[in-house]
A and B are shown apart, each in its own frame.
Chain A
Amino acid sequence: MNAHDEDRMKKLLQQALPPVNGEAEPQRDLWPAMLRRLDARPQAAPWYDWALVAGLVGVVAFFPASIPVLLYCL
């Protein structure tokens, strides 16, 4: 793609997606929503997540050779 093609693509993209008004303000005060978010208690992980972690730690502790396999699966 040469410089001329690049300019044409830029122009086409600007026509397809006109710029938004970045100076716009939110339509509502967002602080109350922020306060609700701050007050919300973080969700505790369910017991089966901890069981899974414990199982993985056990596998890694007893079979260190499985680490590359686990890393590959991630």
Chain B
Amino acid sequence: MRNEPSSVLNEFRQGSVDAFETLFHLHQRAVYGWILRIVRNPATAEELTVETFWRIYQARARFEPSRGFEGWARRIATRAALDWLRAMQHEQESPEDFSVELAAPAIADAAISAEIRHKTALAFSRLAPKLRIAATLVVVEEQPHKEVAEALGISIAAVKLRVFRALRLLRKDLQQQGITP
């Protein structure tokens, strides 16, 4: 993300749509990319990017220019993505309804069959969204713990704990299906 002049931040805080548009164009790519890492679907990421900036605009009075726009936007984007994951989990009638974006891995491990990968992805989709989001960002997307902690508004230790719990529950789910990871 790029830095923006403090005058733009102050004008945005006062409700200037022009300043908001400047910030939107400066940060939309980074916000979109962050959300895409979580929801893994380009169309949904676009919708949530607009939702995120809508929330940002609504919350402009609470924005503190001294703390920077980037981290604040990322926290709101993470919250919007988490809300979406929760809503999707409630809408799912069965785990099979979950559409997993199954792109082939860049370097596929021959020892792990496509069926196991699919079952792993489905089992992962059954985890609580707050565990899933932490594991996705840390394990899959290999984002630094510090950034993930800031985005989720929790400590680094709490991020590590969530990742550990996600992996442990995933392993348990797979074992119940007769898969020994």
Q: Which residues of A contact B (CB under 8 A)?
A: 1, 5-6, 8-28, 30-31, 33-34, 37-38
- Chain B residue nearest to A13 in the complex (CB): B139
B105 at interface, CB cutoff 8 A: yes
Distance from B136 Cβ to chain A, minimum over Cβ atoms (Å): 7
Q: Would B50 and A16 count as touching, CB distance under 8 A?
A: no
- The answer for the CA separation of A9 and B57 in the assembled complex, in Å, is 40
Contact with A along B1-38 (1 / 0, CB 8 A): 00000000000000001000100110011001110110
- The answer for the CA separation of A37 and B80 in the assembled complex, in Å, is 16
- The answer for the CA separation of A13 and B32 in the assembled complex, in Å, is 23
Distance from B72 Cβ to chain A, minimum over Cβ atoms (Å): 17
- The answer for the CA separation of A6 and B164 in the assembled complex, in Å, is 8
- The answer for the CA separation of A20 and B49 in the assembled complex, in Å, is 16
What chain A residues lie within 8 Å of B136 (beta carbons)? 17
Q: Would B167 and A6 count as touching, CB distance under 8 A?
A: yes
B141 at interface, CB cutoff 8 A: yes
What chain B residues lie within 8 Å of A17 (beta carbons)? 40, 100, 120-121, 124, 136, 140
Q: Would A22 and B167 count as touching, CB distance under 8 A?
A: no
Q: Would A22 and B171 count as touching, CB distance under 8 A?
A: no
Q: Would A11 and B109 count as touching, CB distance under 8 A?
A: yes
- The answer for the CA separation of A19 and B140 in the assembled complex, in Å, is 6
- Chain A residue nearest to B171 in the complex (CB): A9
Choose among B49, B100, B124, B164 the residue that contacts A13 (Cβ–Cβ < 8 A).
B124
The 7 closest A-B pairs by CB, nearest first: A16-B120, A22-B33, A9-B167, A18-B105, A16-B117, A16-B121, A22-B37
Using A5-B171, A27-B42 as known contacts, say yes or no to A22 and B34 having CB atoms under 8 A apart. yes
- The answer for the CA separation of A27 and B50 in the assembled complex, in Å, is 13
The 16 sampled A-B contact pairs (Cβ below 8 Å) are A9-B167, A9-B171, A12-B120, A13-B139, A14-B140, A15-B120, A17-B40, A20-B101, A20-B103, A25-B29, A25-B32, A27-B42, A30-B46, A30-B49, A34-B53, A37-B50
- The answer for the CA separation of A30 and B103 in the assembled complex, in Å, is 25
Q: Would A34 and B50 count as touching, CB distance under 8 A?
A: yes
Contact with A along B109-141 (1 / 0, CB 8 A): 100100011101100100000000001100111
